[in-house]
Structure 1
Amino acid sequence: MDSLTQIVLGAAVGEAVLGRKVGNKAMLYGAIAGTIPDLDSFAPLFTDTLTAIEIHRGFTHSIAFSLLFAPIFGWLIAKIERKSNVSWKDWSWLMFWGLLTHPLLDAHTTWGTQLFWPFDLRLAYKNIFVIDPLYTLPFLIFLILAMRSKRGSIKRRKYNNLGLIISSAYMLCTIGLKGITYYKFKNALEDQDISYLQLQTRPSPFNTIMWSANVELEDAYLIGDYSFLDSKPITFKSIPKNHYLVHSFKNENNLDRIIAISQGWYAISKRGEKLYFNDLRFGSLDPNADNPKFVFSYLLKQENGELIVEEVPRDPEEAKALLMELGNRMIGN
């Protein structure tokens, strides 16, 4: 999830764990704990594209990280806050839950997390977009109300608990919506007599009214969308896999790595003489185009006999146009 959401969640967890004893300082350190796992976002400054992607939401988003570093951070805070008369164990407990709830929340997004690192298992429930105002804003409002209430008061605890309960209830609701839309897509494929290998669904950006589906066929993928406000049947657009275009790279380790990152949901496109690896899990920037560009696309090129993978920068204008189109599409087809 986005940084603001993780800060709000961390602060609310900090308040729940230690708010009675230290007041707003519990929120402060909870917010810090909720931010720490995303320090892996700075990996591109120090390493290559593929390694940075593999690191993202890896070790820092694991149970192991929470267990190892919570006591260290707890000890540091206990040194800083000597006058609070709170033990390092209490601070460690606050940091543990702040660090752990971050990846637990991220696991609901499309990218997911390696919660059980070092095992190569990425949890991705795909039931909420990384930025969802309906999750964050009510949570933030209740957190602010709690922050402004007297330390240890019933009102303060009530506001904080309401924020946690309402945000969690909304999360459960998105899981239900995902289940409904999955069967909408499944039924549409059956009605159109389409045989498929796999079907995955995910919410569209910033909302849970409209959902998208990736459908794997033998030589292509179908991409479709469905809004709860739709009145017409679901239609699908075909994207050729074009995996044959990278057969010459089949012994390249970097190709295997980017395929593993995409979890096998990828299509190859060619523009001019350039080859692009497109991760289909996050959708396209221009879904109606014949040769669409994708949110996560990587240029494949050979340098000194080695396959180089470079992430293609996203055009802000294309993203703006996509959001406008998304707004119109949400209200029904």
Structure 2
Amino acid sequence: MDSLTQIVLGASVGEAVCGRRLGNKATLWGAIAGTIPDLDVLFNPWLDMVEQLSFHRSLTHSFLFAVLVSPALGWLLHRLYRHTAATFFDWTWLFFLGFTTHALLDSFTTWGTQLFWPFSTYGVAFYNIFVVDPFYTVPFLAFVLAAAFHNRHSQKRRRLNTLGLLISSAYLIFSFVAQAKANKVFEKNLQQQHIMYTSYISKPTPLNTFFWAVTAKTEHGYYTGFYSLFDREEEISFHYEPRQQHLLQAYRGDEKLERLLEITKGYYAVSEAEKGIHISDLRFGQFDGWRKSGGRYVFVYHVWQNDVGKLQFEEINYRPKPDQAYLKAYLNRIFGK
């Protein structure tokens, strides 16, 4: 999830653990605990593109990190605030829950989280919430801020924080229900259109959990379709993307290329580039993919050989700035218009 959301979640967890003993210090340090896992990006200057993709959401997002680092930080903060009522266990619990809730929330998004690193580099992903979702964050933020203005012994402070946790958690549960509804429609349409798929990924489109996209994998390519919970009809028009795996043959066997393909979980399409090839990560789909005209893939990786035959990698990020007309059309599509 985005940084603001993780700060809000961490602050609320800190308040729940130590708010009565520490007041807003618990909120502050909870927010810091919710931010620490994302500091893995500080290593990016020393890593190449594939290493960055592989390292992101690994060590600092793992259960092992939470188990080993939480007691160390707990001891440090217990020493720093030794005149407060918070114990070493309180501080350790604050950091442990701050780290683990951060990692678990990230695992609900499309990218996935290496929760079991270093024993497994698999990115656990449930694809049930977009990385930025105001329906989750804004109400949660409002309750956490409101709680901070009350005395640490106030029952109202605890109720406000608890409500924030409950409402945000209820929204996450709703996202799974919405995903299940969308999956039912996607599966019915795939069957009716005689599309023989081996697996599929369904995920929400940006900023909501009402409008969903699916990418279904077949033997030679992928079918992508869209469905909104507000659609009056349950008929899906699928777009086909060939995998073109044969374009990879000249590059297979390279350790970093294989890791890149592993990161995509097999949801990639290859196309020729002026130099080398482009690998599109289909998990994230196309910007404007819901329109009939389609759009460009959000994450594309350029792969080519240098003069000595070593593979080079470059990430091509397509993050357009939507104008008012686009936002209006997108909102209309979300609500089935």
TM-score (normalizing by structure 2)? 0.93
User: Which whole-Å deviations, capped at 9, do the CAs of 1:99-155 have from their partners, x for residues lacking one?
Assistant: 111101111111121112222232101110011111111111111111011112111
Would the alpha carbon gap of residues 320 and 263 (structure 1) be closer, same or farther in structure 2, given more than 3 Å must change?
Answer: farther
SS at match of 2:200: strand
Structure 2 unpaired stretches of 5+: none
The count of aligned residue pairs is 333
2:312 maps to 1:308 = yes
Question: Counterpart of 1:25?
Answer: 25
Cα displacement (A) at 1:58: 0.6
Question: Counterpart of 2:331?
Answer: 327
User: Which whole-Å deviations, capped at 9, do the CAs of 1:251-299 have from their partners, x for residues lacking one?
Assistant: 2222211100101100012244452111100111242588852111111
Query: What is the identity, as a one-letter code, of the residue corresponding to 2:311?
Result: L
Cα displacement (A) at 1:80: 2.4
Contact 2:296 2:318 in 1 (8 A): no
The farther-off stretch of 89-98 and 197-206 is 89-98
Cα displacement (A) at 1:60: 0.6
Structure 1 unpaired stretches of 5+: none
Contact 2:279 2:300 in 1 (8 A): yes
Query: What is the identity, as a one-letter code, of the residue corresponding to 1:67?
Result: V
Question: Counterpart of 2:134?
Answer: 133
User: Which whole-Å deviations, capped at 9, do the CAs of 1:37-88 have from their partners, x for residues lacking one?
Assistant: 0011233222101111111111111111011111111122223223324333
Query: What is the identity, as a one-letter code, of the residue corresponding to 1:327?
Result: L
Would the alpha carbon gap of residues 322 and 202 (structure 1) be closer, same or farther in structure 2, given more than 3 Å must change?
Answer: farther
User: Which whole-Å deviations, capped at 9, do the CAs of 1:192-213 have from their partners, x for residues lacking one?
Assistant: 1222111221111100110000
d(CA) in 2 for partners of 1:289, 1:43: 40
Listed as ranges, the matches of 1:70-89 within 5 Å are 70-89=70-89
d(CA) in 2 for partners of 1:181, 1:67: 37
d(CA) in 2 for partners of 1:106, 1:312: 23
Would the alpha carbon gap of residues 210 and 284 (structure 1) be closer, same or farther in structure 2, given more than 3 Å must change?
Answer: same
d(CA) in 2 for partners of 1:302, 1:323: 40
Contact 2:59 2:65 in 1 (8 A): yes
Contact 2:6 2:102 in 1 (8 A): yes
Percent sequence identity is 43
d(CA) in 2 for partners of 1:155, 1:136: 21
Question: Counterpart of 2:188?
Answer: 187
Question: Counterpart of 1:299?
Answer: 302
d(CA) in 2 for partners of 1:318, 1:169: 30
The farther-off stretch of 118-127 and 320-329 is 320-329
Contact 2:298 2:317 in 1 (8 A): no
TM-score (normalizing by structure 1)? 0.94
d(CA) in 2 for partners of 1:179, 1:200: 12
Contact 1:254 1:308 in 2 (8 A): no
